[in-house]
Amino acid sequence: MTNIFLAISNHADLLGGGEHSFIELLSHLPPPWKPLAVVPARGHVATRIEAEQIALSVICLPSLRPWNIFAIIKGVRSYAQLCKEKKPGSSTLMVRGPLFMEALLANDERARHMAL
């Protein structure tokens, strides 16, 4: 049985140590896990993920400041739809600060989160 490992990055272009570690983690998951990476926009991170032949989704991660409720709702709905379709067995968030999507994913009792 294959388990989906949902990995979310809030960076599209920054390629520092955290992003390299994020991509390395996804590249070396054990066989029962299939990674699905999510990035907020096409950029250097997406290019590297695709070069590693890792499944990729692009979903906007709107900022909480300045407040834009419509963008936030759209982002939450997109993540909810992705989770409904893919039914991830685990997830990780690559964040450098609070991220509202963590609250959405924390509602799934099967999900385990770690901040890199």
Average of pLDDT values for 70-86?
Answer: 87
Residue 98 domain flag: yes
Q: How do residues 9-28 score in pLDDT, each as one tens digit?
A: 888 887 788 888 888 888 99
Residue 73 domain flag: yes
Residue 1 domain flag: no
Host domain of residue 27:
8-106
Residue 2 domain flag: no
Residue 3 domain flag: no
- pLDDT band (50, 70, 90) for residue 106: low
- For residue 37, give the nearest of 49, 21, 48 by alpha carbon: 49
* pLDDT, mean over the chain: 77
Residue 115 DSSP code: B
Residue 34 domain flag: yes
For the record, the structure tokens of 58 come out as 């692009």
Q: Report the number of distinct structural domains present in the chain.
A: 1
- For residue 83, give the nearest of 59, 53, 114, 116 by alpha carbon: 59
Residue 115 domain flag: no
